[in-house]
Amino acid sequence: MASPRIISLLPSCTEIVCALGMESSLVGRSHECDFPPEMKTRPACTRARLDSSADSATIDREIKGLLEQSLSIYEIDVPLIERLKPDFILTQAQCEVCAISLADVEKALQFSVGIKARILSLSPARLADLWTDIATVARELGVEEQGRELIKDLKARVVDAIEKLGEGKKRPSVACIEWLDPLMAAGNWVPEMVDLAGGLSLFGDAGRHSPWLNWEAVQEHDPEFLIAMPCGFDLERTRREMNRLTRRPDWAKLRAVKRGQVFLTDGNQYFNRPALDW
């Protein structure tokens, strides 16, 4: 049986396919798929309609402007997809801002007669949804056993984290910031990640979309730890944008700041995508 031809339009899907041993089947990717590094050699089938190198506030304004006009934030290269002749196209229905959505794909391909691919759409909101998504992709690609082994390994890592944490330890309060201007807290799977690491997430609920956050709430709760994980930003980009936080009123008075417990992260690689770096 010939190996299926796969286009992944979501970074986490790309990582899942590769972890299932199907890397050679990936013939196309989204412009954001960057791991494993060799994926950058695959042709990019999408691009953003906004300047992703702009500052947080500008990106936010551009996104809201596009959505107000009922325009997608991303463009799909349909002629390229037609030439690649995929058997499967992987996308998502979780967030139309963060990545190409199922609606974007269906709209772009509705008049194409040359694309007969099966579209798989993932919509993870919690940690357990990752197991479900892996099982779904593995089943559709015909590698169910590899899927079971991968899920088993990932679950073992979660159990290991729980055992290392132990019982009875005080859980420090943690503020996870997913966007810097305007402020947004991290929701979805991030509160569960904080819980597994032994912390108490102050803002954002597990399984629910990331909420907007006002600075007064941060001051009122005065977190012991503050972790910056802007969506789509690497560590250097996060460092450049931190003045969006540090210039806010009474920043220096926060417990996390006074104790030196403010941490900058590569949110793009380790928090914003429901993938295997966990």
On whether both 37 and 110 belong to a single domain, the answer is yes
Q: pLDDT: is 98 or 41 the higher one?
A: 41
Please tell me which residue, 100 or 95, carries the higher pLDDT value.
Answer: 100
> Which residue, chain included where needed, has tokens 């159990």?
159
Q: Do residues 24 and 135 share a domain?
A: yes
Mean pLDDT of the residues in the chain: 89
Residues 194 and 233 reside in one and the same domain:
yes
Task: Look at 238 and 167; give whichever has higher pLDDT.
Answer: 238
pLDDT at residue number 164: 83
Report the pLDDT value the prediction gives residue 278, as an integer from 0 to 100: 39
Indicate if 125 and 15 belong to the same structural domain: yes
Say if 100 falls within a structural domain.
yes
* Domain-located, residue 162: no
149 with 241, same domain: the answer is: no
- Residue 276 has a pLDDT of 53
Q: Give the separation between CA 232 and CA 229, rounded to whole angstroms.
A: 9
* Nearest one of 104, 257, 274 to 186, comparing CA atoms: 274
Domain closes at, from 98, 119, 153: 153
Integer Cα distance of 114 and 109 in angstroms: 9
Q: Average the pLDDT over 191-198 and give the result.
A: 92
Where residue 1 falls among pLDDT bands split at 50, 70, 90? low
> Whole-model pTM?
0.87
Confidence at residue 95, expressed as pLDDT on a 0 to 100 scale:
66
Residues 34, 138 within the same domain: yes
Looking at the structure of the chain, the number of domains it has is: 2
191 in a structural domain = yes
pLDDT at 191: 95
In a domain, 43, yes or no: yes
Classify residue 135: in a domain, yes or no: yes
Tell me, yes or no, whether 107 and 180 share the same domain. no
**pLDDT, tens only, 133-186:** 999 999 999 999 999 999 999 999 888 888 887 766 789 999 999 999 999 999
**Lowest mean pLDDT across 43-52, 93-102, 188-197, 244-253:** 93-102
Classify each residue of 84-106 as buried b or exposed e, where b means 16 or more C-beta atoms within 10 Å of its C-beta: bebbbbbbbebebbbbbbbebbe
Examine the domain organization and report whether 36 and 111 are in the same domain: yes
pLDDT digits (tens, 9 = 90+) for 206-227: 999 999 999 999 999 999 999 9
- Give me the domain span that covers residue 46: 6-153
Q: Are residues 223 and 85 in the same domain?
A: no
Q: Do both 143 and 245 map to the same domain?
A: no
Domain harbouring 219, CATH code: 3.40.50.1980
- Confidence band of 70 (pLDDT split at 50, 70, 90): low
Lowest mean pLDDT among 5-14, 59-68, 124-133: 59-68
Neighbours of 236 (CB within 10 A): 10
**Section 36-49 average pLDDT:** 91
